[in-house]
Amino acid sequence: MPVSAREAGRTEVPVTSGSPVTEVSESVVRVKVPLPASAGPRPEACDWLSYLRFRHVDGPAESADADRILVAQPGILEGAGAFDSVARNTVAAAAESGSHIEFWALDRRSNCLEDPTGVQAGLAARDVHLAVDYYYRQKEIDGRKFAGYQTNDQVKWLQHVGLEQTVRDQYDLMARELPDQRARKEKMLCGGHSLGGVLTAYFAEWDFDGNHATTADAGHNQCSGYFALDTRIEKGLPGMGGQVPADWVPIVEFGAGAVQAGLDAGIVPRALSAPAVVNTETMNLLAIAGLAANIAPDAESDLSTYIPSGFNQDMTYRLLFSKDYPTFIKGSPTVKDFRFSNAAALAGLLDDHSQPLAFMQASVGFWDGGTIADKEFPAPNNLEEIGLGGLTRLLGTEKKAIPDEPGGPLFTWRNYDRVGAPDDPVHRSKDGTPFTSAGKEVTDIAELARSLSEHPLDFTEHYFPTKLITDIALADAPGIADDAVHEGGIAANPVINLQAGDGLGFGDPQPGDIIAAGYQHIDVLTASAVQNDGRPEPISTNLAAFATG
């Protein structure tokens, strides 16, 4: 039962956590804010907005009494759970200086379509097979059966969830939770990670009451400052020259009318998806892999064989675990020919020495337990030497590596704080240089696994609305961002730019940036509270100082 229901249409339920940051409590808050009738039929759960509320255990029970409240928008394909570590570390750091702040990790409305039943039941029973059986073998849990991943026809209402609905959802939630506009202006800071910075920029300029002559309702007057986590508070996508890549949604070239017609007809997918790696099923597979690594990190993984074969997972494994082009084309050896610990299997999906997409990379340590070779698929490790250095914006800055003994030993994972230890074999690339060093590893694989599998609001976003991306790409078209009229909104408040040294904006540092050396794009959310050099984590400590200053 909810522990709080101070008004109709609101619930708040505590979240049990295994986080080592025990002085911070977490709860999941849901507030009923129905979509307009014009959105069409949708699940009842999608008429609610949700967020994870992090606060200090010694702080005030009511948000209105907190010293500050950080309100965070997730990046693309991200959910509220992704903010777990940075939220806890920031709240704890603020408390050390005598301030009690809160961190609200927003979950976008589309996440109502996710079904966490299997992962949550697997966590409670400490049995990852229970989760797999729920999602892949139709095994019921408490009388509930997985309905399958939603098809394009089943998510028709998402064609109405774009830029306007997203910023309005944030405004409505903030206003519902803290009704006094003057209190919002005094206490709340707005920001986010990656795409969250772009959304914050639009939020700052948006007019929410329909009267452009009044400003109390303007987005910038709901916040006292802005924070950017490996992004900018700017109306353009970070790390992409401000533009949406044309191959993401090619129809944007034909204009807003064509896009909306395509969404209406179902020709344009209503949720962003690719045949492999980036799609609904893969996002859920990350939670399952996180669950296995959370429950039994050192045990041998059987997920590649226990999860039934299918095109998506087989192609995803092939893309992520092929040593080179001949291996990819031949299809052998496959991931099933190697032995991995659960921690290593998870790291193979997200570590910056394995995951090929920069926006999905974290620095969690390195392979261990056997022979390691250069991974030169989908691109060689010497991009700079062959004149393709520009691809590092897409593929990341670090050389890729892969186990090289099929049928051999159990490959394990050397955690971030064991890189450079006396027993570290220091695996080297073919050019003789070490693949990594202690200064390049910042996230605890155990904490990443916990964040992926523990929260009632997921780390990832399974059904990212295509309209949100197309609206940003076509924001100048009539009817898209007509209420983004307060052009001084971004400059109206102070901003802190917290950048990953090796993240999406690594090639374009700006004056005043706080740069976390060695961090990848995801690390600004997941980095450990104590780093390899023994110093406090710089993103959260600087964010706490900004919030309380």
Domains (ranges, CATH) in the chain?
A: 14-109+146-241+485-548 (3.40.50.1820), 280-453 (no CATH)
Is the pLDDT confidence value at 8 over 80? yes
Return the structure tokens found at 470: 């197309």
- pLDDT at 3 (0 to 100): 43
Q: Which two tokens stand for residue 203?
A: 């939020």
Helix (H, G, I), strand (E, B) or coil at 510: coil
pLDDT for 249: 66
For the cut 60, the answer to whether the pLDDT of residue 140 exceeds it is yes
Residues 439-456: what's their mean pLDDT?
Answer: 98
Q: How far apart are alpha carbons 454 and 81 in whole angstroms?
A: 8
pLDDT at 5 over 50: no
Query: Over 80: is that where the pLDDT of 247 sits?
Result: no
H or E, element range at 104: strand 101-107
Nearest to 467 by CA among 158, 217, 258, 240: 158
At 1 the pLDDT is 35
Residue 391 banded pLDDT, cuts 50, 70, 90: confident
- pLDDT averaged over every residue in the chain: 94
Q: What is the pLDDT of residue 390?
A: 77
pLDDT (mean) for 315-338: 95
Strand ranges of the sheet holding 410-415, from the earlier edge strand across to the other edge:
339-340, 410-415, 365-368
Q: Predicted confidence band at 239 (pLDDT cuts at 50, 70, 90)? A: low
Whether the Cβ atoms of residue 201 and residue 234 lie closer than 8 Å to each other: yes
On the question of pLDDT at 201 being above 50, the answer is yes
Q: Name the percent of the chain lying above pLDDT 90.
A: 88
Average pLDDT score over residue span 161-173: 99
* Per-residue pLDDT at 2 exceeds 70: no
Lowest-pLDDT choice from 393-397, 452-456, 477-481, 527-531: 393-397
Residue 382 is predicted with a pLDDT of: 87
Segment (H or E) for 325: helix 325-330
Residue 406 CB neighbour total at 10 angstroms = 14
Element (H, E) at 193: strand 188-193
The angle at the Cα of 335, spanning 332 to 337, to the nearest 5 degrees, equals 70
For the segment 398-421, the average pLDDT, to the nearest whole number, is 97
* Residue 530: pLDDT over 80: yes
Give mean pLDDT, residues 20-45.
97
pTM of the model: 0.95
pLDDT at residue 166, rounded to an integer? 99
Residues 92-106 have pLDDT tens digits of 999 999 999 999 999
**pLDDT at position 384:** 81
Task: Please give the average per-residue pLDDT across 389-413, as a whole number.
Answer: 92
pLDDT digits (tens, 9 = 90+) for 487-528: 999 999 999 999 999 998 767 788 999 999 999 999 999 999
List, for residues 410-441, the tens digit of each pLDDT value.
999 999 999 999 999 999 999 999 999 999 99
pLDDT of the residue at 385: 83
* Percent over 70 (pLDDT), the chain: 96
Hey, which residues does 411 pair with through a beta bridge?
Answer: 340
pLDDT at 87 over 50: yes
DSSP letter at 390 equals G
Better-predicted residue by pLDDT, 506 or 264: 264
For 335, residues 6+ apart whose C-beta sits below 8 A from its C-beta are 304, 317, 318, 320, 321
Local confidence band at 392 (pLDDT 50, 70, 90 cut-offs): confident
Whether 6 shows a pLDDT value over 80: the answer reads no
Q: How confident is the model at residue 238 (pLDDT cuts 50, 70, 90)?
A: low
